[in-house]
Amino acid sequence: MRLFTLIAISTLLVLLCPSIARGQYRDTTETSMMTYRKGHLELQGSRLGNEEVRMLVGEDYAKYCRGRKQRIAGCILTPIGTCALGASLYLSYVGLITTAFGKPVPLYAGIALNVAGGGILASGIATLRGGRSNLKEIASGYNSGKMGTEVSFGPTGNGIGIAVRF
């Protein structure tokens, strides 16, 4: 019983807190590129607001708004689904669902709770992924329009010379 409780709690922590395990690597060479980090678009290391994004991406602003809404919906649904599924699995394991209030409850009641929790979790993950992919497409579309080469003469990492950046 204690082992199952420890496994359930650790599973919930892993599902609810993925940013704990994720590294915080930041590439400093791409400062003029638009990037997607933690649900927001960034340019030169600073988070962009809605008006700044509207000015930079132009006609793709509607896609940006849709991606933000999907991501917010996914951030709300995923923990709710995880908690519902975890609670229903725990209650099924302990046997509280089958003996609620001293009366036996049919087996399909526990299955219904598991299906509902799993459905909410799956829809939360799907909308979170969809919103993230929309925001990454916005950033890559902006970056593809800004691609070019820059040639400069002066100090480089290895001394004085010509630096070519793509």
Q: What is the pLDDT of residues 98-131, one digit of tens each?
A: 565 666 666 666 677 888 889 999 999 999 999 9
pTM of the entire predicted model: 0.61
Nearest alpha-carbon partner for 39 in 6, 72, 85: 72
Structure-token pair, residue 144: 């593809």
- pLDDT of 154 above 80: no
- Give kind and range of the element (H or E) at residue 151: strand 150-156
Nearest alpha-carbon partner for 7 in 67, 62, 89: 89
pLDDT level of residue 70 (50, 70, 90 thresholds): very high
Is-contact 65 71, C-beta < 8 A?
no
* Window from 12-16, 82-86, 114-118 with minimum mean pLDDT: 12-16
Residue written as token pair 């925001």: 135
Cα separation, 143 vs 145, whole angstroms: 5
Cα separation, 34 vs 43, whole angstroms: 5
Burial class (CB in 10 A: 0-12, 13-18, 19+), 131: buried
The pLDDT of residue 56: 85
Cα separation, 110 vs 98, whole angstroms: 8
Residue 165, by phi and psi: left (phi above 0), alpha (psi -120 to 50) or beta? beta
